[in-house]
């Protein structure tokens, strides 16, 4: 049978299901034996649905409430409850069954109610409820980011048409833009978030106590703890040195995801402007601080390090090495990896290279302080009153993968270190797709077996007890289908070269039977293979440039033939048991990003 590949390059597709944004159309009728990777993708998408359904049924009730011992605290508090849905929104947006979305939406609403109703006795800030205005009353942005993963990423499937989601996105962003008098977290004059402890009831401008971090007391043996501490005294001892919280902190760069999400939903220019103002202030501080992000900026006057110039100060800062009460030793807890999300968000909304450039300058600045020890070079990871410390054998490469993904520069790729996915994209590991997919299938099976074996009664579970057995496994699918970075626990949003939509069902994700494999990424090109595994059904999929339509396709090439696309999305009609490998030339960050789906855009 003759291989056919028809591209209607300049002719607008007359797809009735895509009423708003007209799209160039591609038709694939090239017979293809279904590749093993394609079958594995479809299997992985399907098997996770039943596993997640069973997980939900075991750990959530009909209201969407988590069945656990509800506590306030950084170890096991409200953020962990929402983390039980990590990966579920991304899974649905890849193409998993709609049941996944129904479950996580029900759980999200239930958890908002559950933690609004939950109250503390000893911890002042949460005595009227752990949540207020559907947002945690006060926490740091390591824990905020973790708890907001579900909210930020459910927009991938909700788009811009969900009024409740849009309303919450605006309200949550307002907590950090001076729009809510109950939450005066932001100083627009100094461009600082006034404390690293902040939320819907505002900032903490005093010294934090261990009780603020740990929550109310409990009986020994009341529940199964996951962090090593077993008694309330040990919990308190863990947080004794976490008292310095006032002032802006690089952790607060996680807050940029809230206005970013609000912009993606609404398109309102004020959210982008706030992000540019706040990130601009941080870039200025980096220049003043020898290229390095400080972890303490005084909220009273905006000075780096306050009166004593301690730019490395504050809990979770450059000089933070508290005692672990269980081990009896100091542990380095510099949480600067969480700050990269602000630079990624700013790049997405502006398309400007200066944010990635600033992170690269910081990496070089840290590594410039390497030393020779016993004839071997060592690199620092921490800084305190006595200078650099926390030495390691490899160069400091925090945020290297994100930096490379933003820039696609070869020298940035070299910073990443060992990465089987990057090896594959660079042509050095042809077996990676099948290996990665089989590994995630085994993970789903293993975690399902583990939660089935869990006999812990609800009253002895903490909110974080189940995190390690959540069966959702999106790593291989994100890498292979989307050419994307797996969103981290910092609460950042999806970064992906491609996204897919089903125009017939008007939903995010590939249609039934369709599989996709991104095999090469450069600054200007993406190589992807699309396959319809069905024996009899024609499938149509919309391919979008970027997670938020931020990239523009310029042309499509196959077998030496090239046709213009000149759009941020195009539709592909695939005959049964057919497929094609395509090279897409594109201009990255050329479009205004949006959560609007193709049929929502005008």
Q: Are residues 276 and 137 in the same domain?
A: yes
Q: Are residues 389 and 512 in the same domain?
A: no
Quick check: 149 pLDDT over 50?
A: yes
How many whole angstroms separate alpha carbon 86 and alpha carbon 80?
10
**The last residue of a domain, from among 426, 453, 469:** 469
CB neighbourhood size of 434 (10 A): 16
Please compute the mean of the pLDDT values over residues 29-56 and round it to a whole number.
97
Please compute the mean of the pLDDT values over residues 360-366 and round it to a whole number.
98
Beta strand 24-28 with 569-574: parallel, antiparallel or unpaired?
A: parallel
Inside any domain, residue 478: no
Q: Are residues 226 and 330 in the same domain?
A: yes
Q: Are residues 397 and 334 in the same domain?
A: yes
How many whole angstroms separate alpha carbon 295 and alpha carbon 29?
56
The per-residue pLDDT for range 182-235, each reduced to its tens digit, is 999 999 999 999 999 999 999 999 999 999 999 999 887 888 777 778 889 999
**The last residue of a domain, from among 445, 469, 493:** 469
Do 518 and 565 touch, CB atoms closer than 8 A?
A: no
Inside any domain, residue 141: yes
Please compute the mean of the pLDDT values over residues 385-402 and round it to a whole number.
98
Under the banding of pLDDT at 50, 70 and 90, the label for residue 564 is very high
Residue 240: both structure tokens together: 């004794």
pLDDT of residue 14: 35
Flag the least confident range among 227-236, 303-312, 338-347, 515-524. 227-236
Quick check: 560 pLDDT over 90?
A: no
CATH of the domain at 516: 2.60.40.1180
Inside any domain, residue 24: yes
Inside any domain, residue 132: yes
Residue 83: both structure tokens together: 């983390």
User: What Å distances lie between residue 582 and 187, 270, 511, CA to CA?
Assistant: 49, 38, 19
Please compute the mean of the pLDDT values over residues 339-364 and round it to a whole number.
98
Under the banding of pLDDT at 50, 70 and 90, the label for residue 4 is very low
Q: Are residues 126 and 218 in the same domain?
A: yes
Inside any domain, residue 498: no
Do 579 and 32 touch, CB atoms closer than 8 A?
A: yes
Residues 6+ away with beta carbon under 8 Å from 171: 133, 134, 135, 180
Angle of the 340-350 helix axis to the 400-407 helix axis, nearest 10: 10
pLDDT of residue 539: 98
Inside any domain, residue 72: yes
Q: What is the dihedral of CA 346, 281, 207, 133, to 10 degrees?
A: -50
How many whole angstroms separate alpha carbon 348 and alpha carbon 547?
10
Inside any domain, residue 355: yes
pLDDT of residue 187: 98
Q: Are residues 266 and 326 in the same domain?
A: yes
Q: Are residues 397 and 276 in the same domain?
A: yes
CATH of the domain at 204: 1.50.10
Quick check: 9 pLDDT over 70?
A: no
pLDDT of residue 230: 82
Number of domains in the chain: 2
Which residues form the domain of 274?
40-469
DSSP per position, 440-509 = HHHHHHHHHHHHHH----GGG--TTTTGGG-----HHHHHHHH--BPP-TT-PPPB-SEEEEETTTTEES
CB neighbourhood size of 585 (10 A): 17
Above pLDDT 70, what percent of the chain? 97
Inside any domain, residue 488: no
**The last residue of a domain, from among 469, 491, 520:** 469
Q: Are residues 258 and 134 in the same domain?
A: yes
Please compute the mean of the pLDDT values over residues 284-297 and round it to a whole number.
98
Residues 6+ away with beta carbon under 8 Å from 10: 24, 563, 564
pTM over the 0.85 mark: yes
Q: Are residues 541 and 410 in the same domain?
A: no
The per-residue pLDDT for range 54-82, each reduced to its tens digit, is 999 999 999 999 999 999 999 889 999 99
Higher pLDDT, 241 or 3: 241
How many whole angstroms separate alpha carbon 514 and alpha carbon 502?
10
Quick check: 15 pLDDT over 90?
A: no
How many whole angstroms separate alpha carbon 574 and alpha carbon 539?
5
Q: Are residues 26 and 46 in the same domain?
A: no
The per-residue pLDDT for range 251-277, each reduced to its tens digit, is 999 999 999 999 999 999 999 999 999
Do 25 and 13 touch, CB atoms closer than 8 A?
A: yes
pLDDT of residue 21: 63
How many whole angstroms separate alpha carbon 544 and alpha carbon 552?
9
Q: Are residues 460 and 525 in the same domain?
A: no
- Residues paired with 500 in a beta bridge: 543
Q: Are residues 21 and 54 in the same domain?
A: no
Residue 364, helix vs strand vs coil: helix
């Amino acid at each position: 049978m003759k291989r056919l590949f028809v591209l209607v390059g300049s002719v607008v597709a007359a797809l009735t299901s895509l009423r708003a944004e007209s799209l160039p159309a591609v038709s694939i009728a090239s017979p293809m034996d279904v590749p093993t990777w394609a079958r594995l993708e479809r299997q992985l998408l399907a098997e996770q649905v039943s596993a997640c359904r069973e997980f939900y049924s075991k750990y959530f009730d009909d209201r969407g409430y988590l069945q656990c011992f509800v506590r306030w605290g950084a170890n096991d508090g409200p953020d962990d409850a929402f983390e039980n849905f990590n990966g579920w929104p991304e899974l649905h947006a890849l193409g998993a069954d709609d049941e996944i979305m129904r479950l996580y939406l029900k759980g999200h609403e239930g958890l908002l109610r559950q933690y609004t109703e939950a109250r503390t006795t000893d911890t002042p800030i949460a005595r009227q409820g752990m949540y207020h205005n559907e947002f945690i009353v006060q926490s740091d942005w390591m824990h905020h980011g973790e708890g907001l993963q579900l909210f930020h990423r459910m927009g991938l499937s909700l788009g811009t048409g969900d009024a409740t989601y849009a309303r919450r996105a605006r309200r949550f962003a307002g907590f950090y833009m001076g729009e809510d008098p109950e939450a005066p977290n932001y100083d627009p004059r100094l461009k600082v978030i006034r404390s690293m402890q902040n939320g819907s009831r505002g900032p903490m401008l005093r010294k934090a106590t261990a009780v603020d971090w740990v929550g109310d007391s409990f009986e020994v043996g009341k529940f199964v703890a996951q962090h090593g501490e077993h008694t309330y005294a040990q919990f308190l001892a863990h947080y004794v040195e976490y008292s310095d919280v006032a002032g802006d902190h690089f952790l607060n760069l996680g807050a940029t995801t809230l206005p970013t999400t609000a912009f993606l939903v609404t398109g309102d220019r004020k959210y982008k402007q706030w992000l540019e103002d706040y990130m601009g202030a941080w870039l200025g501080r980096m220049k003043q601080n020898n290229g390095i992000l400080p972890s303490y900026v005084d909220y009273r006057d905006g000075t780096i390090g306050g009166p004593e110039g301690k730019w490395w100060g504050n809990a979770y800062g450059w000089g933070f090495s508290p005692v672990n009460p269980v081990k009896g030793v100091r542990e380095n807890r510099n949480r600067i990896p969480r700050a990269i999300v602000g630079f990624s968000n700013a790049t997405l909304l502006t398309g400007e290279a200066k944010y990635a450039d600033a992170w690269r300058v910081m990496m070089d600045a840290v590594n410039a302080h390497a030393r020779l020890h016993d004839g071997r070079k060592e690199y620092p990871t921490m800084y305190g009153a006595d200078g650099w410390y926390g030495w390691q054998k490899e160069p400091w490469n925090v945020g290297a993968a994100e930096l490379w993904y933003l820039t696609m520069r070869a020298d940035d790729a070299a910073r990443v270190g060992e990465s089987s996915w990057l090896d594959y994209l660079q042509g050095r590991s042809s077996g990676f797709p099948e290996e990665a997919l089989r590994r995630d299938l085994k993970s789903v099976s293993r975690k399902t077996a583990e939660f089935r074996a869990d006999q812990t009664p609800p009253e002895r579970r903490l909110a974080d007890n189940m995190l390690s057995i959540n069966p959702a496994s999106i790593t291989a699918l994100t890498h292979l289908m989307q050419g994307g970075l797996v969103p981290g626990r910092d609460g950042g949003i999806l970064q992906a070269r491609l996204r897919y939509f089903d125009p017939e069902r008007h939903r995010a994700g590939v249609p039934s039977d369709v599989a996709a494999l991104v095999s090469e990424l450069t600054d200007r090109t993406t190589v992807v293979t699309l396959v319809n595994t069905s024996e009899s059904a024609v499938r149509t999929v919309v391919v979008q440039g970027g997670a938020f339509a931020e990239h523009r396709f310029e042309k499509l090439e196959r077998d030496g033939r090239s046709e213009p696309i000149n759009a941020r999305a195009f539709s592909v009609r695939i005959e049964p048991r057919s497929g094609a490998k395509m090279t897409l030339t594109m201009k990255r960050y050329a479009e205004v990003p949006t959560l609007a789906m193709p049929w929502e855009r005008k």
